A = this chain, B = another copy of it.
Amino acid sequence: METVSQVLDSIDDVGRDPRRGGYSRPVYSAAELDLRSWFIEQAQRRGLDVETDRNGAIWAWWGSPSSSGPQALVTGSHLDSVPGGGAFDGPLGVASALAAVDKLRARGITAGEGGARPLAVTAFPEEEGSRFGVACLGSRLMSGAIDADRARSLTDADGITFAEAAARHGLDPQHLGADPQAIDRVGQFVELHVEQGRGQIDLGPAGGAENSVAIGTSILGHGRWKFTVRGQGNHAGTTLMSDRADPMVAAAQVVLAVQRVAAGRDDARATIGRLQPLPGGTNVIASAVEMWMDVRHPDDSVTAALVETIHGKAQIAAANEGCTVTLTEESYSNTVHLDAGLQSRLHDLLPQAPSLATGAGHDAGVLAAVVPSAMLFVRNPTGISHSPEEWVERDDADAGADALADVLEGLL
């Protein structure tokens, strides 16, 4: 039986990014398509029946789903990554689910037979939103949390729409969108994920087995907004400083305002990690700057107030530089409190596991609106994620798969 680390080793070379370090596996890129093929092959090798749904999520079934029989138990995560991300964010959950299937089988359990419900392992597309801008796009589509027309018209950096990308990979763009039949088959969803901050390492000594796996309580509300600052493009040599309307100067003030406003409020996080001056030449005063803001706070009304404050400061900064600024919301997810009953079941099944809130977004947070959902977090000894430095020790990965198998066995 392969360990989780051995399963992950087989995709160690897929989508490496020599420039940024780590992995770049945006949805429907060559790398992510390789991972999808790998997942299908791994599932079929385990005798699971694989289907891809209308929104591009892959389902690997152990036992047949049925509209008349018991609802299935579903576990899984995603395969796509942020640019220059780590090896575990997403794939750890998929690999752990595959390993858990092996463990259940070794324990003599057969899903979908003898009173056990069917079990599915899933991989949702575009969880990171790194290509089309909206995180958890696959689970949002399936659950109806995003309008299908809006999803179809999302574009990547090359101007390719999500509808075009989906069509290139065998989906019918007209069939994208809410899929209540797929949801009706699901009784509970359990997502295992690498922990993405210091939550687990701050709970106790590194290497202590008691904190290697934690049970999720809530997912921090988070949203993405796009600023477009417009000024007057011009020549960097001939244009006097006093004659400029430089959107880069205004954008820099917005970056600082974002940092200061968030730092002034407990528990708030706000980030500009993506910024693009247009046209982007060294000897050219930019005509516009596009930049994307990520804001999170446990209280959704505080998030809204933070964004409003930042927007006001951005308008002042732009006006002072003779520029204009627009702000548009690209996506927003309320703070999600995961199903209390399911959390309680998981604590019964994993009595050692501590509780942990997460600041990262997850498909489980989207699906929680339509299906009782739970999360397991595996310790990340660096406390760093969305970076090549994200890490999981092999012992912790094995502990995570064991815990997932225990949870699945208990819930089946």
Q: Which residues of B contact A285 (CB under 8 A)?
A: 271, 273, 386
Residue A83, interface by CB 8 Å = yes
Residue A275, interface by CB 8 Å = yes
Q: How far is the CB of A151 from chain B (nearest CB, A)?
A: 17
Residue A287, interface by CB 8 Å = yes
One of A34-42, A110-118, A167-175, A191-199 at the interface: A191-199
- A256 close to B249 (CB less than 8 A): yes
One of A70-78, A178-186, A342-350, A357-365 at the interface: A357-365
Q: Which residues of B contact A381 (CB under 8 A)?
A: none
- B269 close to A233 (CB less than 8 A): no
Give bound CA distance, A282 to B133, whole Å. 8
Q: What are the interface flags for A270-307 relative to B under an 8 Å C-beta threshold, 1 for contact and 0 otherwise?
A: 11111101111111111100001110100000000000
Closest to A279 in B: B84
Q: Which residues of B contact A274 (CB under 8 A)?
A: 277, 280-282, 284
> What secondary structure prevails in chain A residues at the interface with B?
loop
Q: Which residues of B contact A239 (CB under 8 A)?
A: 197, 269, 359
One of A51-59, A240-248, A368-376, A400-408 at the interface: A240-248
Give bound CA distance, A82 to B133, whole Å. 28
- A358 close to B238 (CB less than 8 A): yes
Q: What are the interface flags for A4-19 relative to B under an 8 Å C-beta threshold, 1 for contact and 0 otherwise?
A: 0000000000000101
- Pick the residue among B17, B222, B243, B252 that contacts A198 (CB under 8 A): B243
Residue A129, interface by CB 8 Å = yes
Residue A316, interface by CB 8 Å = no
Q: Report if A287-B387 is in contact (Cβ < 8 Å); known contacts: A83-B279, A281-B274.
A: yes
Residue A262, interface by CB 8 Å = yes
Q: Which residues of B contact A277 (CB under 8 A)?
A: 273-275
- B292 close to A232 (CB less than 8 A): no
Closest to A385 in B: B235
Give bound CA distance, A280 to B256, whole Å. 17
Residue A234, interface by CB 8 Å = yes
- A128 close to B283 (CB less than 8 A): yes
Give bound CA distance, A238 to B241, whole Å. 40
Q: How far is the CB of A229 from chain B (nearest CB, A)?
A: 12
Give bound CA distance, A249 to B257, whole Å. 10
Q: Which residues of B contact A293 (CB under 8 A)?
A: 282
Which of A83, A220, A280, A282 has the most chain B CB atoms closer than 10 A to its own CB? A282
- B384 close to A278 (CB less than 8 A): no
Given contacts A224-B283, A234-B385, A237-B360, 17 further A-B contacts (CB under 8 A): A19-B159, A84-B278, A85-B279, A128-B281, A130-B282, A196-B237, A197-B237, A197-B238, A237-B269, A237-B358, A238-B359, A249-B256, A271-B284, A273-B280, A273-B281, A274-B281, A285-B386
Name the 7 nearest CB pairs between A and B, nearest first: A197-B238, A84-B279, A252-B255, A233-B387, A83-B279, A236-B271, A252-B252
